[in-house]
A and B are shown apart, each in its own frame.
Chain A
C-alpha cells in the first residue's frame, strides 16, 4: 500500500520568512514524488518532481529515502505563494498500482504581508 502524510493542515508565515511544508510517504518500492499546488480558483498544477531536482518559483524539495520524506522548502516566502499544496506519490507501473497518484491531505499555506 502507498500512503502520503502531510502533518500540517494549515501553515502561516510572514512574507520573507522561510517556509517548509512537510511530506512523509510510505511505499515499499522506489517512489516517484511530486508537489502539486492549487491557487485559489485555479487548476491543480505540478510544482516539482523529485526526479528532476529543480527549483521552481524558489521552491525546492529533496527526497530523503532514509526518513521517507519529501519536504518542500522556500527560503523567502512571498504573498503569492499562498495556496493549497499537495504532496503526491506515484507507485510505479505494473499491477494494480499502474497510473495511480496518491495525494496527501494537503497543507494550506498562508503568507501574511
Chain B
C-alpha cells in the first residue's frame, strides 16, 4: 500500500460537536503530519509526529487535539470548532530524516456550521 488514506472525505459539524478525523499509512514512514488548507492557498502545517511522539505544534488552538495511537495511524480530534476552521484537512507521511519528501492523503473537507 503506497497511499495515505483519510476518513471521512467530508464532514459537517456544529460548533458544539465533537468529531475525529482519521489518517492511515502503511509505508513504514516514521513521521506523520496534519495540515490545514484553505481554497487556493498552500497547506499550513499544524502538527508533526515523529516516532509516534508530537514533535511540532504550530501554535494550534486547543480545540484541535492530535493523537498518534501507533506508527500507522494519526487522528485529529475536533471540539468546539469555529466557522473559520472550515477547510480541507490534509494528512501526510514521510521518512522524517534522510529523505524529506512527504506524501499526502486526499484530505477531509470540513465544514463547521
A34: chain B residues at CB < 8 Å are 100-101
Question: What total of A-B pairs shows CB separation below 8 Å?
Answer: 55
- B71-113: CB near A (< 8 Å → 1, else 0) gives 0000000000000000000100010110111111111000000
Distance in angstroms from A11 CB to nearest chain B CB is 14
Q: A36 to B103: give the CA distance in the assembly, Å.
A: 10
Q: Which of A45, A96, A105, A108 contacts B104 (CB 8 A)?
A: A45
Question: What is the interface residue range for chain B against chain A?
Answer: 20 to 34
Q: How far is the CB of B94 from chain A (nearest CB, A)?
A: 8
Closest to B6 in A: A43
Given the interface pairs A99-B48, A103-B42, the reply to whether A43 lies near B56 with Cβ below 8 Å is no
B50 in the interface, Cβ–Cβ < 8 Å?
A: yes
> Does A49 interact with chain B (Cβ within 8 Å)?
yes
A32 at the B interface (CB under 8 A): yes
User: Do residues A106 and B40 form an inter-chain contact, with CB atoms below 8 A?
Assistant: yes
B41 adjacent to A106 (CB under 8 Å): yes
